[in-house]
Structure 1
Amino acid sequence: MQTVIALKDLFSAEGRRDPYPFYADLHRLGQASPLDPAVDRYSVVVHGYEAIERLMRDSTFRMLDAAYLDQLDRRPEPLWRRRPSLQVLQQTVFFLNPPEHARLRRPLAQAFTARRMARLEPAIVRLIDRRLDHLEEMGAGGRPVDFMALFAYPLPSDVIGELVGVPEEDRAWFPARSEPFSLVLEPGPQNWRYLQAGDAAAGELTAYFADLIAARRAAPRDDLTSALLQAQASGEAEFSDAELVSNLIGLYNAGFLTSVHSIGNGLILLLDRPEAHAELTNRPELAPAYVEEILRFKTPVQFGVRWAAADTEIMGVPVPAGGEALVLLGAANRDPRRFADPDVFDPSRPDNHPMSFSVGPHYCLGAALSRLEIQLALPMVLRRFPRLSLAGPPRTLDLMTFHGYQEIPVTIS
């Protein structure tokens, strides 16, 4: 008989701060566990690496798209349609199912070409150096500074801004709006507060990208926004301006926050492990292996949700039609069936393929870009500031949506 569990411990303050003991308990139960719909909104929680890989490739399990949300609320105007943030999200490639998903993903994927990524590398190095200069200036004389505020947040905003075509002078404006917009999906009783802040951010972001599209249509440049507008004008891509605005917002936020928290998480993991710190400082060519282990060990995006389009099962756990599956990517990355000694940070582990960027049709479009900037950033930080150390306890985010730090006080000399 399968054990029915409850998610209250995972969604508690302690569970959000450190979900890994809860994940370890789940792994002892198998790869997926049934939930009581009278207690939790989900029918099943999926936590094993193999189970999640299978679910993500199974067309029976679908994204929570607009049609599904409308079925849940059959009023003439469903409540979700009154929320600007949710309206924007529902037009993004991240929440679409076939055939609409392919219609939008194809031109977006073509914009993330290997050639475009390679051309970005010198710009990323330049942006890292500029942020390190500012960190050095602000931390002169041993003055404590916040690594997140001065480096981990602004750098990914610079990088994704460079790709999308956001002018340098506008990029500092984004972090204060990107995070509130992304947190509208944070589960739990406080969600209404996140929705209010996210709605306000969605309005500002929509207006900004509408103006950017108008500017690039009038005067194209060598950036992703111009490339997408060219594809739209030539008929190679079929999307409306509203869809383009929504997807630029989605791409900016997805590409920004995953990198933010991976850089912050990586710094703390290295400061806590002097041998790893020294190895990566002296051998920056190991950065790709280190980044994969950082992504595995402290997964920046912890979960996703799918719904079953028909009666089905996952690893023997039945899921009714219309039932929702909570997909714990962070748990998959600590699955002892897939990773030996999963609670040990080991950049040398073989066959290290974390689930941090998802898998299947919804594999993260910006995964290569995110990996590249983290691989470049962390060794450059360590080489520039070999004596960088904590100036106080880091402050965690205590969220399920993003796993990382709100503040990391450091001294650099």
Structure 2
Amino acid sequence: MQTAIALRELFSAEGRRDPYPFYAGLHQVGQAAPLDPVVDRYSVVVHGYEAIEKLTRDPVFKMLDAAYLDRLDGRDEPLWRRRRSLRVLQQTVFFLNPPDHARLRRPLAQAFTARRMARLEPAIVRLVDRRLDQLEEAGAGGRTVDFMKLFAYPVPSDVIGELVGVPEEDRPWFPPRSEPFSLVLEPGPQNWRYLQAGDAAAAELAAYFARLVETRRSAPRDDLTSTLLEQRASGAAEFSDEELVSNLIGVYNAGFLTSVHSIGNGLILLMERPAHRAELRDKPEVAPAYVEEILRYKTPVQFGVRYATEDTEVMGVPVPEGGEALVLLGAANRDPRRFSDPDVFDPHRPDNHTMSFSVGPHYCLGAALSKLEIQLALPMVLRRFPRLALAGSPRTLDLMTFHGYQEIPVTLG
């Protein structure tokens, strides 16, 4: 396999639409493969389940933090620092390395405890029911409605808003800003357009959360923003207001799009498989297994990137100091060494632990919350609308970072 050609195929329009044939070819050559960093930017592509598990737990491999980007640019004023969106991202827990990573992750993790998730469940059911009511009203009389616009996008925005402390009336404001902000890391020649839109979104999001922080400072509530302020005031946590705002933006966005596209992906997978659809509708207790398989089969976030802090190797593939590794989470979830019949959708497969939320120190903080809302939302949709049907071809996202649908036209029956 000529790896330079292979990566161009992955980032092509067809590769973005359906990367899984490319992943199947990669699995035939091992768990990692060398790349030409001059052509591809990356030194190695890592696609095997075992290889990714080892790499993400290996302290030699780090996130691309601000210090790394500064060294990479080499200028007195690195170009990336002129981008508002990138400056915000680099302050979030998702791009920090030790010791700053632990300093910020510890207080944030307290918002995602099992106890807090249990307390959120009634609110999630209420929020889902409200959106189903709105969907039913919009689809009355057999009218075609967009499932993504009226349900898959609003529900996760409602849920993460409930956790963070965003008032209900403000939540519709977020999706048009959260998505552009999240796309600033999308690779390819259109990246400059994503950066422009992301910078504008970052400025608006930062202004909003700065106001929310001030509101909760004077009038705390039972939400993440208030909890973080209380931890800082008590000395249990240490972060600046700027770091707090950046991480509230990061948590909101991370808790939003993964769930959005998993709900959309799940609906399509179930509508294509009537027996599975009926089982999930009639047996909500199987929902956790279904959600895990949806996340495995159609991974919403496809990849991440790490860099090597010293000369090392991944499954025998050399990686020089400073070399970047393209980590294909979506490929790991279809690794035939880990999953039998990986291209078959099987919610009852045993030992189904996916890479969809990564592993190791950067395992997604909101994984449990995201799974919970999908587990609740999809069976509720199927029970409310047992005759729900596609009313046209779904429109897929033309993206590498996120794998899902932009539009799903349906009738409710």
Amino acid at match of 1:286: V
2:48 is the alignment partner of 1:48? yes
Is the CA contact (8 Å cut-off) linking 1:47 and 1:332 kept in structure 2? Answer: yes
Amino acid at match of 1:331: A
Amino acid at match of 2:297: F
Is the CA contact (8 Å cut-off) linking 1:160 and 1:255 kept in structure 2? Answer: yes
CA deviations on 1:225-259 (whole Å, 9 max, x unpaired) are: 00000001111000001000000000000000000
2:22 is the alignment partner of 1:22? yes
Amino acid at match of 1:148: M
Aligned to 1:86: 86
Aligned to 1:139: 139
CA deviations on 1:29-85 (whole Å, 9 max, x unpaired) are: 000000012210000000000000000000000000000000011111100000000
Aligned to 2:325: 325
Aligned to 2:225: 225
| Deviation of 1:370 (Å) | 0.2
Cα distance in 1 for partners of 2:335, 2:115 equals: 35
Cα distance in 1 for partners of 2:75, 2:59 equals: 28
Is the CA contact (8 Å cut-off) linking 1:62 and 1:309 kept in structure 2? Answer: yes
Cα distance in 2 for partners of 1:164, 1:18 equals: 34
Cα distance in 1 for partners of 2:161, 2:36 equals: 43
Aligned to 1:398: 398
Cα distance in 1 for partners of 2:99, 2:67 equals: 13
**SS at the partner of 2:150?**
helix
Aligned to 2:409: 409
| Deviation of 1:282 (Å) | 1.0
Cα distance in 1 for partners of 2:307, 2:194 equals: 23
Structure 2 unaligned runs (5+)?
none
Aligned to 1:110: 110
Cα distance in 1 for partners of 2:274, 2:161 equals: 34
CA deviations on 1:153-186 (whole Å, 9 max, x unpaired) are: 0000000000000000000000000000000000
Alignment of 1:283-294 (within 5 A): 283-294=283-294
Q: Identity across aligned pairs (percent)? A: 83
CA deviations on 1:288-315 (whole Å, 9 max, x unpaired) are: 0000000000000000000000000000
| Deviation of 1:113 (Å) | 1.6
2:385 is the alignment partner of 1:385? yes
**SS at the partner of 2:207?**
helix
**SS at the partner of 1:305?**
strand
Is the CA contact (8 Å cut-off) linking 1:287 and 1:379 kept in structure 2? Answer: yes
Aligned to 1:158: 158
2:334 is the alignment partner of 1:334? yes
Cα distance in 1 for partners of 2:289, 2:4 equals: 35
Cα distance in 2 for partners of 1:299, 1:164 equals: 25
Cα distance in 1 for partners of 2:221, 2:42 equals: 45
**SS at the partner of 2:304?**
strand
Alignment of 1:195-214 (within 5 A): 195-214=195-214
Amino acid at match of 2:117: M
Is the CA contact (8 Å cut-off) linking 1:128 and 1:155 kept in structure 2? Answer: yes
Amino acid at match of 1:149: K
Is the CA contact (8 Å cut-off) linking 2:4 and 2:39 kept in structure 1? Answer: no
Number of equivalences: 412
Cα distance in 2 for partners of 1:3, 1:205 equals: 42
Alignment of 1:239-388 (within 5 A): 239-388=239-388
Is the CA contact (8 Å cut-off) linking 1:3 and 1:34 kept in structure 2? Answer: no
Amino acid at match of 1:336: P
**SS at the partner of 2:321?**
coil
Amino acid at match of 1:340: S
Cα distance in 2 for partners of 1:235, 1:283 equals: 47
Amino acid at match of 2:88: V
Is the CA contact (8 Å cut-off) linking 1:5 and 1:34 kept in structure 2? Answer: no
Amino acid at match of 1:207: A
CA deviations on 1:306-347 (whole Å, 9 max, x unpaired) are: 000000000000000000000000000000000000000000
Is the CA contact (8 Å cut-off) linking 2:157 and 2:174 kept in structure 1? Answer: yes
Cα distance in 1 for partners of 2:37, 2:257 equals: 31
Aligned to 1:97: 97
What RMSD over aligned residues (CA atoms) do the two structures have, in Å?
Answer: 0.8
Cα distance in 2 for partners of 1:148, 1:278 equals: 21
Is the CA contact (8 Å cut-off) linking 1:47 and 1:328 kept in structure 2? Answer: yes
Cα distance in 2 for partners of 1:224, 1:262 equals: 24
Amino acid at match of 1:394: P
**SS at the partner of 2:170?**
helix
Amino acid at match of 2:174: F
Is the CA contact (8 Å cut-off) linking 1:65 and 1:96 kept in structure 2? Answer: yes
**SS at the partner of 2:45?**
strand
| Deviation of 1:4 (Å) | 4.1
**SS at the partner of 2:8?**
coil
**SS at the partner of 1:88?**
helix
Is the CA contact (8 Å cut-off) linking 1:5 and 1:33 kept in structure 2? Answer: no
**SS at the partner of 2:239?**
coil
Cα distance in 1 for partners of 2:73, 2:379 equals: 50
| Deviation of 1:110 (Å) | 1.4
Cα distance in 2 for partners of 1:320, 1:270 equals: 44
Cα distance in 2 for partners of 1:278, 1:37 equals: 48
**SS at the partner of 1:39?**
helix
Structure 1 unaligned runs (5+)?
none
Normalising by the residue count of structure 1, what TM-score does the alignment of the two structures yield? 0.99
Aligned to 1:8: 8
Q: Which aligned runs of 4 or more in structure 1 are off by greater than 6 angstroms?
A: none
| Deviation of 1:5 (Å) | 4.3
**SS at the partner of 1:8?**
helix
Aligned to 2:238: 238
